[in-house]
Amino acid sequence: MQTRTRTRTRTGTRTGTPAIGASPGARVVIHDPTLRDGQHAVGHQLGAEQMRAYAQAADRAGIEVVEVGHGNGLGASSLQIGRARLADDVMLATIREALNNSRMGVFMAPGWGTGTDLRNAVGHGADVVRIAAHCTEAAVTERHLGLALDLGAEAQAVLLMSHMTDPGRLAEQCTRMVGFGAQAVGIMDSAGHFLPADVTERISAIAAAVNVPVIFHGHNNLSYAVANSVAAVEAGATIIDACARGFGAGAGNTQLEVLVAVLDRMGHRTGVDLRALLTAADLAHEHLMDRPPVIDSVSLISGLTGVFSGFKLPVLAAAQRSGLDPLDIFAELGRRQAVAGQEDLIAVAVRELVAARELKEASR
């Protein structure tokens, strides 16, 4: 496919060489994946009324982009990673109807989602399309970024499991995605592994290499999600992801209402009404989640070992069936450098750990 270099003027985009580091008063676009990433925490079982109520509250609060879908994105509902309660069509139609001011966003990882899923999402009114790839595999985004542009959506691209490669490689991969037409690029700390210095180094490298907005998406396994998001803004990111009450896989995501309050105090402009956002966060707490995310032992080990936070529930289930310590399973998955979509490695790791346990017991 021929490399695309189209540009489109939309809220949150910029042209020209960016300044490194955001000065006080800089505009920060808040991208809210509560109704997508939060699905991981409840087995992708959010219902239409729950989703509609939160979307309306987020819209009233002035959230720029409300993202919706199965936790792993368009087309991802499956036996392997979990069947969603609602079909993509129902989720998209529900949220499109609920939003009067906010833009609707969707997330898609090639391999789970297809061009058909992408066309369907834009047909339902998706304004912002995020195409995701493993941190060293930007090439897989080319086709779908081009399609998103052809369909008239804002095309963004993000690199998953970004702790698994160095800042220079991330900057190189982001540059490639801009060449494919991405109008914003960035990284996801999918395992909640980063400390602020890690984020600063990576976002600075990306911001210096591209001339489009830079995205950061944090997870809270080491209790640094808000601090990491602030570090990202200070290093040049202008699109930050965050979820109400941190609703998300494992220890959860960057907590939306806390992030907005901190950015407001720092003098950054988010366009979000904090009082209305607190109402939305209370609604999320009461109606979307069984309980707010916490940093328990399993979530902490997930972050330390660099394993995708979405593995928490299947690892706990496997540990219960096998009698293994879930911390040992996460350690083995970390050794194997497991990434999202490789949930089948959980069973492999369990079999090998059980075999090792039996061998040890037999030798006594």
Predicted confidence at residue 359, as pLDDT, reads: 85
- 107-134: average pLDDT: 97
Predicted confidence at residue 314, as pLDDT, reads: 86
Please check the confidence at residue 1 and state whether its pLDDT lies above 50: no
Please check the confidence at residue 117 and state whether its pLDDT lies above 90: yes
- Find out whether 88 and 49 touch, Cβ atoms under 8 Å: no
Q: 297-362 belongs to which CATH class?
A: mainly alpha
Concerning whether 31 is annotated as a catalytic residue, the answer is: no
**Residue-wise pLDDT tens digits, 272-283:** 999 999 999 999
- Find out whether 47 and 86 touch, Cβ atoms under 8 Å: yes
Confidence grade of residue 3 (pLDDT, cut at 50, 70, 90): very low
Please check the confidence at residue 313 and state whether its pLDDT lies above 90: no
Please check the confidence at residue 17 and state whether its pLDDT lies above 60: no
Predicted confidence at residue 24, as pLDDT, reads: 64
Distances 311 to 78, 233, 320, 338, 348 between C-alpha atoms, Å: 15, 28, 14, 10, 14
Q: Is 297-362 in the same CATH topology as 29-287?
A: no
Residue bearing tokens 């040049």: 236
Confidence grade of residue 251 (pLDDT, cut at 50, 70, 90): very high
Annotated domain spans of the chain: 29-287, 297-362
Predicted confidence at residue 16, as pLDDT, reads: 36
Confidence grade of residue 5 (pLDDT, cut at 50, 70, 90): very low
If one compares 354 and 233, the residue with the highest pLDDT of the two is: 233
Predicted confidence at residue 14, as pLDDT, reads: 36
Q: CA neighbours within 13 Å on the CB side: how many for 165? A: 20
Predicted confidence at residue 344, as pLDDT, reads: 82
- 68-93: average pLDDT: 93
- 12-35: average pLDDT: 67
Please check the confidence at residue 25 and state whether its pLDDT lies above 80: no
Predicted confidence at residue 272, as pLDDT, reads: 98
**Residue-wise pLDDT tens digits, 190-222:** 999 999 999 999 999 999 999 999 999 999 999
Predicted confidence at residue 339, as pLDDT, reads: 78
**Residue-wise pLDDT tens digits, 155-172:** 999 999 999 999 999 999
Query: What is the Cα–Cα distance from 307 to 334, expressed in whole angstroms?
Result: 6
Q: Is 351 left (phi over 0), alpha (psi -120 to 50) or beta?
A: alpha
Dihedrals phi, psi of 363, to nearest 5 degrees: -85, -5
Neighbour-count burial for 324-354, b at 16+ CB within 10 Å, e otherwise: bebbbbbbbbbeeebbbbbbebbeebbeebe
Dig out the tokens for 144 from the structure: 């779908």
Dig out the tokens for 217 from the structure: 């998406």
If one compares 308 and 254, the residue with the highest pLDDT of the two is: 254
Please check the confidence at residue 336 and state whether its pLDDT lies above 70: yes
Least confident residue range of 108-117, 202-211, 334-343: 334-343
End-to-end CA distance of the chain: 61
Dihedrals phi, psi of 157, to nearest 5 degrees: -140, 140
- In CATH, which of 3.40.109.10, 3.40.50.300, 3.20.20.70, 3.60.15.10 is domain 29-287? 3.20.20.70
Predicted confidence at residue 21, as pLDDT, reads: 54
Confidence grade of residue 320 (pLDDT, cut at 50, 70, 90): very high
Predicted confidence at residue 23, as pLDDT, reads: 60
Confidence grade of residue 242 (pLDDT, cut at 50, 70, 90): very high
Q: For residue 205, what is the enclosing H or E element?
A: helix 196-209
pTM over 0.85: yes
Neighbour-count burial for 124-160, b at 16+ CB within 10 Å, e otherwise: bebbbbbbbbbbeebeebbebbbbbbebebbbbbbbb
**Residue-wise pLDDT tens digits, 34-76:** 999 999 999 999 999 999 999 999 999 999 999 999 999 999 9
Provide the mean pLDDT of the chain: 91
Write down the catalytic residue from 31, 40, 70, 144: 40
- Find the Cα–Cα–Cα–Cα dihedral 198, 40, 250, 174, rounded to 10°: -10
